[in-house]
Amino acid sequence: MNQIRISLEVAAALREKRPVVALESTITSSLGLPAPYNRECYDRVEAAIRAEGAVPAVTGILDGSLIAGAEPSDVERLLTATRKVAERDLPIALAQGAPTAVTTVSASVAIAARVGIRVFATGGIGGVHRGAAESFDISSDLGAIARHPVLVVSAGAKAFLDLAKTLEYLETLSVPVIGYETDEFPAFWSRTSGLKVPARLDSPRDIAVAAHAATISGWGGGMLIANPIPFTDEIPASEIAAAIEKGLAAAAASGATGAAVTPKILAAIAAATESRSIPANLALAESNARLAAKIAAALLD
């Protein structure tokens, strides 16, 4: 029978009411970052969480079971996985007894909620794609955040998305969006987008208080905590915007649509920024993990 497998360390932390932070496994696989940067990302994110006294719980699928927390022998399998699953894919992957699969934001949030982990850290969430009025291309990440009572810490949404419509859709779903020490919604590689966040909070404790208040008010879903990339690692929004336009043009010229557009945009950004996008990815993932750990600890105070 398919089941959820919780690592010994994560199970002990949950039982003893110590802080735990869930992590997606896509960003730390070769599907998210090229080797050896995916391994560096895994190590840095895990170290940041542990430095704040919390326990990391990477999610995924191994041997036909959902996992929350990787045993040491599992890590290499997740780093080299070639199958990626979102929340909608979980039933089929489990029914098929998938040997190895990494989880996106939506699947990871679902697993975290299932085992009682309240905080999840990622790089950036998906959102409403440009041209969604015709394509209806909207990431399942947004619906997952609305359905599951998990605080999602990210550097906003991917910069090549329609960020204004992403915020509008989150409002439609009633998802609270909080800017951490910022009045603007961050744009992943860039600290600013020109779009104001609905609320700003400046400490992990304040975010924990808001999370408790959400529960009291009857909100059964999650919250998005938008944490800007560190100043020293930011790539200016104007520089990213030009690269995105080149990527969109390349995608249109090749006839790429849907998910096939994203690799074209990422390749254009990497070329335009002389690969500074990879160090930026690492820095923001580490920063989000650190903040998530602080929030997880504050929730237990």
How close are the terminal C-alpha atoms of the chain, in Å?
Answer: 37
**Of the residues 24, 52, 87, 184, which is catalytic?**
24
**Of the residues 46, 52, 87, 158, which is catalytic?**
158
Question: Which class for 206: exposed (0-12), middle (13-18), buried (19 or more C-beta within 10 A)?
Answer: middle
Distance CA 289, CA 123 (A): 9
Is there a contact between 252 and 243 (Cβ–Cβ < 8 Å)? no
Is there a contact between 18 and 25 (Cβ–Cβ < 8 Å)? no
Q: Are strands 55-62 and 65-68 parallel, antiparallel or unpaired?
A: antiparallel
Instruction: Answer yes or no: 158 catalytic.
Output: yes
Tokens, residue 262: 């994203």
**Residue written as token pair 């959102």:** 127
Tokens, residue 48: 């940041």
Residue 106 sits at the vertex; the CA angle it makes with 259 and 72, to the nearest 5 degrees, is: 105
- Catalytic amino acids? 24, 158
